[in-house]
Structure 1
Amino acid sequence: MFGDMMGMMNKIKETQQKVEETKKRLDTVTLEEASSDGLLKVTITANREIKNISVADELLEDKEQLEDYLVLTLNKAITKATNVNEAELGAVAKEGMPDIPGLTDMQ
């Protein structure tokens, strides 16, 4: 029984380490999102850190339009990054879960 418990604890520690490694790797995964007309482009990491925003000159002439574009495009970029982040971290966590009787039935 204690051997099983130690094995589970080791597996949990390994999973925690893999999650941390995955988080670091996700800092290097960049995603691009653009407005429908391409006038605004956002580059974001899978950890949801904005790396770059590119604005076409014509958007600089209309403050309200630029603000609308920023909100819409940033929200799309954040959603895309969140989906990648959750999928990657979820896969690592699920892979490392120990087999605990009754736990898999709860999902």
Structure 2
Amino acid sequence: MFGDMMGMMGKLKETQKKVEATKKKMDTVLIDEKSSDEALSVTITANREIKKIEIADHLLEDKEQLEDYLILTLNKAIKRATSVSEKELSAVAKEGMPNIPGMDSLFK
């Protein structure tokens, strides 16, 4: 019994290291998103850090329109980044979990 417990603890520590490594890796995964007319484009990491924003000149003439474009495009990028990050972290966490009946549904 203790051997199983020690093995499980070791596996959990290993999984924790893998999760941390995956979080760092998400800093290098870039998500590009554009407005529907491609007048605005943003690049963010899977950890939701903004890396680049490109704005077409005509958007600079209308503050409200630019704000709307930024909100819509950034929200789409954030949703995609969150999805990518969650999938990666979930896969690592699921891989490291002991086989306990019923736990599979937590990582889907």
Q: What is the TM-score when the length of structure 1 is the normalising length?
A: 0.94
Partner residue in 2 for 1:90 = 90
Aligned length: 106
Question: What secondary structure does 1:68 align onto?
Answer: helix
Q: Could you tell me which residue of structure 2 aligns to residue 72 of structure 1?
A: 72
2:32 is aligned to: 32
Query: Is 1:104 paired with 2:97?
Result: no
Could you tell me how far 1:65 is from its partner in structure 2? 0.3
C-alpha distance in 2, partners of 1:72/1:62?
Answer: 16
In 2, Cα distance between the equivalents of 1:92 and 1:4? 21
Cα distance in 1 for partners of 2:102, 2:50 equals: 38
Task: Report the secondary structure of 1:21's partner residue.
Answer: helix
Q: Which runs of 5+ in 2 are unaligned?
A: none
Equivalent residues of 2:94, 2:104 under 8 A apart:
no
List aligned pairs for 1:34-73, cutoff 5 A.
34-73=34-73
Q: Which residue of 1 aligns with 2:16?
A: 16
SS in structure 1 of the partner of residue 18 of structure 2: helix
Equivalent pairs: percent with the same residue? 72
Give structure 1 stretches of 5+ with no counterpart. Answer: none
